[in-house]
Amino acid sequence: MMILRPIQKSDYSALLNIAQESGHGFTSLPVNEELLQNKIERSVASFAKETDVPFDEGYLFVLEDSETGEVVGTSAIEAAVGLDDAFYHYHLSKVIHSSRTLNVYKAVDILTLCNDYTGATELCTLFLRDKYRRGLNGKLLSKSRFMFINQHRDRFADTVIAEMRGVSDENGDSPFWQWLEEHFFSMDFPTADYLTGIGQKVFIAELMPKYPIYVNLLSKEAQSVVGEVHDNTRPAIELLKSEGFTFNGYVDIFDAGPTVEAKVDNIRTVREVRKYTVRIDDAMQIDAEGSPVMIANDKLAGYRATALTLTLPEKATEVAIPGAVAKALQIADGDTVSIATL
């Protein structure tokens, strides 16, 4: 059984392995012992913090195989970005060049540096190890965050965003960054990406072009990747689109990958989640004929979620679950759980 739970200090080695496997372009998990330890400590403190407004909290989850104890993936939520450090994007928009006298009309795409998502909640740090990319694992790892946000609404903003990894090759070279590097910077993409991951972002404000960039002046290679995702990221963006996330022209300043957004109330899982009272049946087996669902307890630091197949009678207020599932979710008879279809 796969269980999603908050990260613990003892998970450092597993998180380091995931950071190493994730490769270039995965800014939120730099391969740096001090920073990874700090990320874990910050998450533990965030789960323990009493607050009713989103600020600088970061909630980091891991997906654990309950049979082996192996940590096989991670995902995270940033409560509110850009409040203590600038959060940059390029916004893709158009300008019109026209002349009635010359009978010329041309619409041109431009990229403008901005901080428009300041204060938004961010979904981030989603990574599942290769051999576990099957079944419901990916959906559980990603969508369980919506259950958590729904259960603790005061801790998060009304707008939720997710930055999608942009196009880069096996060496970590980004066509978009190559153009920026040639004209404005003297560092390669992996270096810039790493510096951002460890929090050294001052070079962005110092060296990034201050004025809008005309997209048609970029190299053909750079133009072709604006708003496009890395091949490994396609399943993630399709999942978010199915939840109601949309692309509104904001792209990453390094690899031009798209950022998608949604209002919390418009997210499909949030709209469809239902509350049930638990009845534990130790003799009950997993319902192979049921529908795939995600089930989570309503705790904060003790948050647990898993995926299974379950038959939910229409208009029911009580749900029976096997004892093994109840134990994994750390719930007892009469507790409340949240359930959403997968």
Burial (Cβ within 10 Å: 0-12, 13-18, ≥19) of residue 266: middle
Round to the nearest angstrom and report the end-to-end CA distance of the chain: 16
Reduce the DSSP state of residue 63 to 3 states and report it: strand
- E strand or H helix that includes residue 268: helix 268-272
The residue written with tokens 């930055």 in the block is 163
Closest residue by Cα to residue 197 from 12, 19, 7, 74: 19
Q: How far is CA 218 from CA 110, 176, 182, in A?
A: 10, 8, 11
246 forms beta bridges with 261
Angle, to 10 degrees, between the axis of helix 234-242 and the axis of helix 137-151? 40
135: helix, strand or coil: coil
Task: Exactly one of 24, 89, 152, 230 is catalytic; name it.
Answer: 230
Does residue 89 have an active-site annotation?
A: no
Token reading at 182 = 């040639």
Which positions are annotated as active-site residues? 230
